[in-house]
Amino acid sequence: MTRHLRITRLFWSASIAAEMEYRSNFVLTFVTSAMMLGGAVLTLAVLFQHDYQMGGWTWPQALMVVAIYTILDGFQQTFLAPNRTRITELVREGTLDFVLLKPIDSQFWLSVYKISIWGLPNLVLGVAMLIYAGMRTRPPLDAGDYALGLPMIVLGVAILYALGYMLSTLTVWFIKMNNITYAMAALLEAGRYPIPAYPLPYRVFFTFVLPVAFMTTVPAQTMLGMSGSAVWIVGSLGVAVVMLIAARLFWRFALRYYTSASS
Amino acid sequence: MTSAVRKLRAMTGVYYALMVEYRAEIVLWAVSTSLPLIMMGVWVQAGASGDFKLDATQMARYFIAVFLIRQLSVVWVIHDFEWQVVSGRLSPLLLQPIDPAWRFVLMHVGEQLSRLPIVLVLTALCFSLYPAALWGDAQTPGWWTPSLWQVVLAVVGCYCAFVLRFLMQYSFAMGAFWFERVAASHNLIFLPYLFLSGIVIPLEELPPWAFDVVMWTPFPYMVWFPATILADGEAPYVKGFAVIAVWVIVLWIVNRLLWRAGLKHYSAMGA
């Protein structure tokens, strides 16, 4: 375990050093992230300008969902997306062989190899937004509420990771998979709004087919202590565990079909 | 004239063939533009509350029209142009007796043609999300049957949208002559486009003052205007096409000026 931690630290300091070369991009990334969040808030403001409350959620409650979405987005830009792109490259070029030969678990190596600092603005903005929205709800959220919500966000991240890893695994069979990532990212956009704000077919799809509900809506619900949260908490845990195991098994299965560069 | 037409046809044919090779990818690209359908869910539910100008059925029709217009006005020239400049591949194109801009335009036209059958199938599927969009409901009775002039104007509007977006993105792409990595900064115009063009918010739901301001920018004419013509038939036609004309002229001039200045600055391999 300590070996894994040590290796992770080495990987990350190396990739941060590499990215620091382009730090002028940082301002640009910050501006873009702020614009994206601003646009999402504008959309909500238009939806809330009359008496309408999306699926019974109030304005600050809906802002919390946007905030959690922004945090997850930042997280996936920082930790998940760079590694996903890398897996695709490794398989296409046949250099995955070198990873498989290393005396360490290949899934671990592939999941932590790179981090990118470009997700930081989203993480910062998302947390700021979450705190602001939390002060505006009635009653305002306290530390205990956040402490309850945090594990749910972690589960959301786990689901996101497992989903992404399974999609990357598909590269072993289909070489050009970048577009699948785009297609999934487009569908995940649904997480910007509380799932009860959607019509029934959408709710079913985003709960049981693509579990977007567990990524943003359930953490917000838990923090707000909405009734019936217990079922969703259990559900979230179940989905996360099942998907992590599935991602693991799928990777092991896929490796049997991996024909390396030379064979 | 005939030789120009022949060139255009030949190049469109080449790009069509090139794109059809990647059919499976085009399906995925089409799915990745599913944002209007997600927003349709949010707004149909909102429209059903009766608090908004459009009711549920009108919302559904509007967003299905948005989906269609988006599919037929996809522009990605900035990524291609950046690559051509950075890799120096622009140099041989400059030797040809035709402006490279046409090559990029026809590449897009070819892709649109290859996308068309998929778009029609996907649009048909859209109706399964909200079938009442097709035959109407109590608030908005009657079938959604756009009249002939509505369709004609929507097609014209859709190509105006394509021209506007292409000119805007291509002008921005000229930055590649100076900054190389220009596609990353493309978000600076893509995000206003996303939120002010009507993909995410049906613009008539904005407060009246905000609506009036937005209508002077080029963004509503990239989606909202043609989509509203198709979905509703009621749109500010004269003002709309006038504003489009002004923006096309302005962007055209800006584009040509940047192109000339950029070429002088261009210093890739062999130039």
pLDDT, tens digit, 9 for 90 and up, residues A107-150: 888 888 888 888 889 999 999 999 999 998 888 888 888 998 89
Distance CA B178, CA B166 (A): 20
- Yes or no, beta carbons of B42 and A193 under 8 Å apart: yes
Q: How far is the C-alpha of B93 from the C-alpha of B97, rounded, in Å? A: 9
Q: Torsion angle of alpha carbons B235, B237, B242, B248, nearest 10°?
A: 70
A52 vs B46, B181, B192: nearest CB? B46
Is the CB of residue A40 less than 8 Å from the CB of residue A192?
yes
Shortest CA distance from A45: residue in chain B = B206
| Assigned domain for B270 exists | no
A42 vs B: CB within 8 A? yes
CB-based contact B233:B154 (threshold 8 Å): no
Q: Is A139 on the interface with B (CB under 8 A)?
A: no
Helices (H) and strands (E) in chain B, counts: 14, 0
Total domains in the fold of chain B:
1
- What are B80-131's pLDDT values in tens digits? 888 888 787 888 888 877 888 888 888 888 888 887 888 888 888 888 888 8
Beta-carbon separation of B41 and A199 below 8 A: yes
Task: Tell me whether residue B67 is in a domain.
Answer: yes
Q: How far is B39 from chain A (nearest CA, A)?
A: 8
Q: Which one of A35, A185, A189 has the shortest CB-CB distance to B191? A: A35
CB contact under 8 A, B185 and A28: yes
Q: Rounded to the nearest 10 degrees, what angle do helices A178-188 and B35-48 cross at?
A: 10
In a domain, B162, yes or no: yes
Is residue B271 in a domain? no
Tell the burial category of B128 from Cβ atoms under 10 Å away from its Cβ (0-12, 13-18, 19+): exposed
Distance CA A211, CA A15 (A): 31
Residue B201 to residue A42, Cβ atoms within 8 A: yes
Predicted-assembly ipTM surpassing the 0.90 threshold: no
Task: Please check whether residue B136 lies inside any domain of the structure.
Answer: yes
Q: Is residue B132 within 8 angstroms of chain A, CB to CB?
A: no
Is position B170 within any domain? yes
Residue B261 has pLDDT above 60, yes or no: yes
Contacts of B186 in chain A (CB under 8 A): none
Residue A157's contacts (CB-CB under 8 Å, 6 or more residues apart) are A72, A75, A76
- Decide if B179 is inside a domain: yes
Q: With H, G, I as helix, E, B as strand and everything else as coil, classify residue A23.
A: coil
**B33 lies in some domain:** yes
Q: Are B205 and B54 in contact (CB under 8 A)?
A: yes
Domain that includes residue B225, residue range:
2-265
Q: Measured between CA atoms, how close is B150 to chain A, in angstroms? A: 28
Torsions phi, psi for B141 (to 5 deg):
-75, 160
- B70 closest CA partner among B100, B40, B25, B103: B40
Q: Judge whether B55 is closer than 8 Å to chain A, CB to CB.
A: no
pLDDT digits (tens, 9 = 90+) for B23-63: 666 666 666 778 888 999 999 999 888 888 888 888 999 99
